Amino acid sequence: MSIGYMRGPRICVSITEDGKAFRRSLMYGEDTICDLSPVDLIELIMQATSSLRYDVPKVRDN
């Protein structure tokens, strides 16, 4: 299955052929870079979310 707008790196989660487990892969385009363990996946998500910033707009006193 080709997704045209997903050309950069992404995480692909699929079910194994026996239907009993999940398979997590780091993908770039159609190529599999590596398989990810559950711990690797959590660490990757934590690194991505730790770089996010939340700015609270300042309220102006009139």
Residues 12-61 pLDDT 10s: 999 989 999 999 999 988 889 999 999 999 998 888 888 777 777 777 77
Residues 15-26 pLDDT 10s: 989 999 999 999
pLDDT at 60: 77
Cα 57 to Cα 42: distance, rounded to the nearest angstrom: 30
The domain limits of the chain are 9-50
Q: Where are the alpha helices (DSSP H) in the chain?
A: 38-50
Cβ(34)–Cβ(25) below 8 Å: yes
What band does 5 get if pLDDT is binned at 50, 70 and 90?
A: low
pLDDT at 20: 92
